[in-house]
């Protein structure tokens, strides 16, 4: 069990209640930049870690123990959903994830099986129960899912891609087929997240990693619309929801009527412009460029200060990177980042 004072900074910041410093966690905080994670991975492959609650709990807690982050995030992957729907999922060494067969025809959409989704993903619920019991209310646990559009890109492309040819071909040649897939994913993601909430997660984040490949005018009908539906489906559960999209202010703007609680801002976006646009109605999360952490301490400090000062002293900011941490970031630089955010933001809030 992790023993510290109960830490409500993350939830309080989202609710814009007073905080004495800015909370920090980082996307992909459990992962290959941590030596203790790699030790677990030497013995177990990635999906085994996701599917074994004891192992998922261990790696979820590793960054909390080491850095005392203000939130934990469930260790899993967005691609367990396509697997539960019936695609075969493999993580090939150095090639990234592979899903087969690709979803290309109407029959491929019809073959996806949403029944019993909660049972097929019950290992996630079991991990959530074990993690929250270990955290014992001291640090909040974030549950997550990919957005319907982001999940659809992986399901249709089948493997990492540069040009997203298959999903874009479907978008322009048979939009109805893509919409039925997105409808099915919206229902699946909603049910999956409700299962996580019932198991005990205290917050939700939806990752829309690939919405930014859409032309701006197609972002609402093919990505934002479905995330907004999920937010509506979760409304009665009283758990704050963050929408993270990667694709700049133009996309973030289209989330301004989402009724989510927090918007994740990528590193390409000017935080002060995002605050002007969204800061009244939403808390904001972000947005340090993840590659800043290759820099020396002077650079890291300067960039952190810029972000904290731009947001200012009021509540409503959760410090994070603008996307996931990279596997070869020096772990000492992460420790320095956490200390720096605490030091500077404490002064700012004093």
Q: Which residues bind ligand CP3 (CB under 6 A)?
A: 27-32, 41, 46, 73, 75, 77-79, 91, 96-97, 144, 146, 207, 209, 324
212 or 316, CB closer to ligand CP3?
A: 212
Close Cβ partners of 133 (under 8 Å, ≥ 6 residues apart) = none
In whole angstroms, the minimum distance from the beta carbon of 99 to ligand CP3 comes to 10
- Using CA atoms, how far apart are residues 79 and 82, in angstroms rounded to an integer? 6
In whole angstroms, the minimum distance from the beta carbon of 216 to ligand CP3 comes to 20
- Using CA atoms, how far apart are residues 300 and 290, in angstroms rounded to an integer? 10
In whole angstroms, the minimum distance from the beta carbon of 128 to ligand CP3 comes to 13
In whole angstroms, the minimum distance from the beta carbon of 94 to ligand CP3 comes to 9
Token pair, residue 90, equals 């493999």
Helix residue ranges, H only, the chain: 9-14, 35-43, 46-51, 53-67, 80-85, 106-110, 117-120, 122-135, 148-157, 165-173, 175-199, 216-219, 225-234, 249-253, 271-278, 297-311, 331-349
In whole angstroms, the minimum distance from the beta carbon of 24 to ligand CP3 comes to 14
- Rg of the Cα trace of the chain? 19
Taking the CA atoms of 342, 141, 89 and 82 in sequence, report the sign of the dihedral they define.
Answer: negative
11 or 78, CB closer to ligand CP3?
A: 78
Buried b / exposed e over 42-64, threshold 16 CB at 10 Å, is: eeeeebebbbebebbbbbbbbbb
97 or 286, CB closer to ligand CP3?
A: 97
59 or 308, CB closer to ligand CP3?
A: 59
Which residues are part of the catalytic machinery? 28, 32, 41, 77, 154
- Nearest residue to ligand CP3, scored by beta-carbon proximity: 209
In whole angstroms, the minimum distance from the beta carbon of 242 to ligand CP3 comes to 12
- Using CA atoms, how far apart are residues 69 and 270, in angstroms rounded to an integer? 25
49 or 109, CB closer to ligand CP3?
A: 49
96 or 101, CB closer to ligand CP3?
A: 96
Close Cβ partners of 24 (under 8 Å, ≥ 6 residues apart) = 69, 70, 318, 319, 320, 337, 338, 341, 342
């Amino acid at each position: 069990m992790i023993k510290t004072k109960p830490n409500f900074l993350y939830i309080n910041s989202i609710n814009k209640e007073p905080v004495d410093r800015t909370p920090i966690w980082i996307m992909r905080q459990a992962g290959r930049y941590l030596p203790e994670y790699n030790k677990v991975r030497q013995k177990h492959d990635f999906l085994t870690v996701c599917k074994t609650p004891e192992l998922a709990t261990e790696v979820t807690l590793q960054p909390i123990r080491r850095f005392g982050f203000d939130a934990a995030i469930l260790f899993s992957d967005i691609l367990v959903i396509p697997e539960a729907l019936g695609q075969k999922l493999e993580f090939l060494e150095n090639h990234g994830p592979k899903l087969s067969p690709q979803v290309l025809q109407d029959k491929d959409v019809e073959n996806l099986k949403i029944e019993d989704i909660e049972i097929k993903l019950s290992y996630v619920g079991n991990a959530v129960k074990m993690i929250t019991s270990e955290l014992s209310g001291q640090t909040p646990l974030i549950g997550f899912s990919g957005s319907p559009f982001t999940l659809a890109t992986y399901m249709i492309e089948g493997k990492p891609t540069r040009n997203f040819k298959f999903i874009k071909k479907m978008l322009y040649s048979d939009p109805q087929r893509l919409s039925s897939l997105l409808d099915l994913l919206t229902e699946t993601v909603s049910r999956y997240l409700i299962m996580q909430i019932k198991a005990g997660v205290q917050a939700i984040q939806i990752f829309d990693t690939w919405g930014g490949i859409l032309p701006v005018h197609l972002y609402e009908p093919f990505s934002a619309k479905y995330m907004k539906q999920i937010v509506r489906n979760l409304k009665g559960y009283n758990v704050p929801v963050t929408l993270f999209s990667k694709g700049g202010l133009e996309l973030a703007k289209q989330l301004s009527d989402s009724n989510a609680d927090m918007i994740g801002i990528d590193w390409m976006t000017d935080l002060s412009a995002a605050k002007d646009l969204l800061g009244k109605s939403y808390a904001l999360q972000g947005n340090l460029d993840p590659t800043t952490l290759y820099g020396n301490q002077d650079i890291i400090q300067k960039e952190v200060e810029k972000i904290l000062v731009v947001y200012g002293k009021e509540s409503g900011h959760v410090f994070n990177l603008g996307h996931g941490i990279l596997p070869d970031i020096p772990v000492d630089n992460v420790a320095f980042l956490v200390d720096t955010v605490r030091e500077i933001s404490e002064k700012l809030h004093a």
